[in-house]
Structure 1
Amino acid sequence: MIVTASTQASKTAIAFAILLALVTVPPVIAYATVVHRTCRSIDPRAKTIGLVPMLIMTVL
């Protein structure tokens, strides 16, 4: 998204980049949650960062 904005791409290209980002973020969060739960089932003492920090880092 930053590259499309910095290269002064068309509004359609920027809209497509934003849509693509919005479509791909939820599966990444779901996958990270599944991996985290799997790790915790293997080692219950494993540290966790928590859901809120994970969401914040995904957005950033």
Structure 2
Amino acid sequence: MSKDPYFGFGSFSIKVREGRVGRNAKTGTTVHVPERRCLSLGRAPRCAYSQLCRSNG
């Protein structure tokens, strides 16, 4: 997992979602969902965006 920090905003990291067995909602058949890499954000404690959200309610 790699992390790329952006000071004052947060750090982005890549997480791996494991493969799983899913179901087609229309036909009811089972399908294999492969593993994927997804981007996640860990925001900074003093992120300007989070302070804006706190001030609005």
In the superposition, the TM-score normalised over structure 2's length comes to: 0.27
Which structure dedicates a bigger proportion of its chain to strand? 2
| Higher share of residues assigned helix | 1
Q: State the TM-score, normalized to the length of structure 1.
A: 0.26
